[in-house]
């Protein structure tokens, strides 16, 4: 499929990303999945070649480039190499958490945190979800009480990506429980603070290299100087940043769907049944035709949003549309891909089988399909 979204500079960048994925990721995937987390060295290696801080200011080691298409390329190349779904935490760092720091740090905070984050020395987590509050972020109960020049934080977060490796946790807290969403603030909590504790890695059905876990805050004293943005503005900061997060997931879902189609097309040529390649049976040809068609249509829409975002014009409703539709599509494509592979499609050594379990989360995190439809529905003015 011809794509008009990238220019020569992007494609040159893609070459270096492809080399990075081939040398620093692919050889380690199985080991990281078995260990249940990636090596911290992955982040340092990504930092070294400039993958983690594209949008960060140059004075702090970043690329000074707000063009999200560069971020998209990393996701696409990880997808093409069958390692995106392992759950590496790079997207969480570069696409999702870093923008909070880039957009809302004071100059002092930026100097304190950004160089380490961009270099991959400091790993980020973003902790919104709690055992009792996921989709309904405003219902969080983690409390931060001001005490002189500190906040004292108490509460529990769950399902947090990068939880075991994280050095800095951007944490959603209630600073004014009576004020609803206007009482939410963001605090950056260093993982070596007294009273901060990580739970055991949660056993997931997929994304086995992702160190998803609970985080516990017991009277953690956090300097007021770690407040990100204004007190009481945290909910709005999160809502603003979710559009890019949703576009990132749409890029990933589309990359995984495209890769699933390629895997199936190759398999349908080489696998024979009843004396013919399985792709020669009309049903399977139609399945492949549908996969190809739907994936290319999804790609066109995602590319349009990537271009819009590169101009600073990403629309929240369109990001929600892309998120729910591409992630549901990815699941359809991958599920049919498993079927097309027969018994081999159920074997973990086959990328299509891993894609099936790894991609299942996509319709849930970064806002569920149902929440996306709520956002879209509310915009219709009924």
User: Would you tell me how many other CB atoms lie within 10 Å of the CB of residue 67?
Assistant: 16
Candidates 25-33, 65-73, 138-146, 364-372; binding stretch for ligand FAD (CB under 6 A)? 364-372
Alpha-carbon separation of residue 30 from 36, 144, 344, 372 (angstroms):
10, 40, 18, 33
Nearest of 193, 230, 233 to residue 215 by alpha carbon: 193
One of 75, 207, 295, 321 touching ligand FAD (CB under 6 A) = 207
One of 70, 113, 159, 267 touching ligand FAD (CB under 6 A) = 159
One of 315, 328, 335, 374 touching ligand FAD (CB under 6 A) = 374
Any contact of residue 175 with ligand FAD (CB under 6 A)? no
The residues facing 276 across adjacent strands are 273
Candidates 37-45, 153-161, 180-188, 281-289; binding stretch for ligand FAD (CB under 6 A)? 153-161
Q: Which residue is nearest to ligand FAD (CB)?
A: 134
Any contact of residue 365 with ligand FAD (CB under 6 A)? yes
Tell me whether residue 228 or residue 291 sits nearer to ligand FAD (CB atom). Answer: 228
CB of 267 to ligand FAD, least distance (A): 28
Which of the following is catalytic: 33, 130, 231, 245?
A: 245
Nearest of 225, 42, 20 to residue 121 by alpha carbon: 42
Any contact of residue 134 with ligand FAD (CB under 6 A)? yes
Cα gap 306→265, rounded to integer Å: 27
CB of 96 to ligand FAD, least distance (A): 8
Active-site annotation holds for 245: yes
Contact between 306 and 69 (Cβ < 8 Å): yes
CB of 160 to ligand FAD, least distance (A): 5
Helix (H) or strand (E) holding 198: strand 196-201
User: Would you tell me how many other CB atoms lie within 10 Å of the CB of residue 153?
Assistant: 22
Map tokens 């930092």 to a residue: 47
Pairing relationship of beta strands 213-223 and 276-277 according to DSSP bridges: unpaired
**Angle, in degrees to the nearest 10, between helices 234-270 and 69-80:** 40
CB of 124 to ligand FAD, least distance (A): 10
Cα gap 264→344, rounded to integer Å: 12
One of 153, 264, 371, 375 touching ligand FAD (CB under 6 A) = 371
Question: At 156, phi and psi to the nearest 5?
Answer: -135, 135
First to last CA, the chain: 38
> Within positions 64 to 93, which residues make up the interface with ligand FAD, using CB under 6 A?
92
> Within positions 112 to 131, which residues make up the interface with ligand FAD, using CB under 6 A?
126-129
Tell me whether residue 204 or residue 292 sits nearer to ligand FAD (CB atom). Answer: 204
Question: At 59, phi and psi to the nearest 5?
Answer: -60, -20
Q: Residue 74, by phi and psi: left (phi above 0), alpha (psi -120 to 50) or beta? A: alpha
Any contact of residue 135 with ligand FAD (CB under 6 A)? yes
Alpha-carbon separation of residue 85 from 28, 210, 368, 381 (angstroms):
14, 9, 18, 37
CB of 354 to ligand FAD, least distance (A): 15
Q: How many residues at the interface with ligand FAD, by CB under 6 A?
A: 20
One of 73, 361, 362, 375 touching ligand FAD (CB under 6 A) = 361
CB of 219 to ligand FAD, least distance (A): 22
Cα gap 131→356, rounded to integer Å: 26
Alpha-carbon separation of residue 352 from 81, 84, 277, 284 (angstroms):
12, 12, 19, 16
One of 165, 175, 212, 256 touching ligand FAD (CB under 6 A) = 212
Site string for ligand FAD, 243-282 (x = CB under 6 A): ----------------------------------------
Token pair belonging to 305: 């949003």
CB of 170 to ligand FAD, least distance (A): 9
Tell me whether residue 128 or residue 298 sits nearer to ligand FAD (CB atom). Answer: 128
Any contact of residue 364 with ligand FAD (CB under 6 A)? yes
Given the rule CB under 6 A, which residues bind ligand FAD? 92, 126-129, 134-135, 159-161, 204, 207, 212, 361, 364-365, 368, 370-371, 374
Catalytic positions, written as ranges: 245
């Amino acid at each position: 499929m011809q794509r008009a979204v990238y220019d020569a500079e992007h494609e040159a960048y893609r070459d270096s990303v492809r080399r990075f994925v081939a040398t620093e990721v692919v050889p380690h995937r199985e080991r990281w999945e078995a260990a249940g987390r990636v090596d911290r060295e992955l982040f340092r290696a990504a930092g070294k070649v400039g993958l983690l801080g594209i949008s960060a200011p140059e004075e702090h080691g970043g690329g000074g480039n707000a063009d999200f298409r560069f971020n998209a390329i990393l996701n696409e190349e990880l997808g093409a190499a069958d390692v995106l779904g392992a759950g590496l935490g790079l997207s969480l760092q570069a696409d999702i958490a870093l923008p909070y720091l880039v957009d809302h740090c004071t100059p002092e905070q930026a100097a304190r945190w950004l160089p380490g984050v961009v270099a991959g020395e400091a790993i980020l987590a973003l902790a919104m979800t709690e055992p009792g509050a996921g989709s309904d972020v405003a219902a969080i109960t983690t409390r931060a009480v001001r005490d002189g020049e500190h906040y004292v934080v108490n509460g529990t977060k769950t399902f947090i990506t990068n939880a075991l490796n994280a050095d800095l946790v951007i944490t959603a807290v209630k600073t004014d429980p009576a004020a609803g969403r206007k009482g939410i603030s963001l605090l950056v909590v260093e993982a070596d603070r007294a009273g901060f504790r990580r739970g055991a890695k949660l056993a997931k059905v997929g994304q086995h290299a992702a160190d998803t876990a609970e985080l516990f805050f017991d009277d953690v004293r956090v300097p007021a100087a770690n407040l990100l943005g204004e007190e009481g503005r945290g909910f709005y900061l999160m809502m603003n940043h979710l559009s890019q997060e949703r576009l990132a997931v749409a890029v990933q879902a589309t990359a995984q769907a495209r890769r699933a189609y390629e895997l199936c097309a190759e398999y349908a040529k080489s696998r024979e049944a009843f004396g013919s390649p399985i792709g020669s049976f009309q049903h399977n040809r139609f399945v492949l035709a549908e996969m190809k068609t739907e994936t290319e249509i999804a790609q066109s829409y995602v590319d349009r949003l990537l271009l819009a975002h590169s101009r600073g014009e990403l629309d929240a409703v369109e990001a929600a549309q892309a998120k729910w539709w591409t992630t549901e599509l990815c699941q359809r494509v991958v599920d049919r891909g498993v079927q097309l592979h027969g018994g081999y499609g159920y074997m973990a050594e086959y990328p299509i089988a891993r894609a099936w379990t790894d991609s299942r989360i996509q319709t849930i995190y970064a806002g569920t399909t149902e929440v996306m439809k709520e956002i879209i529905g509310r915009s219709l003015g009924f």
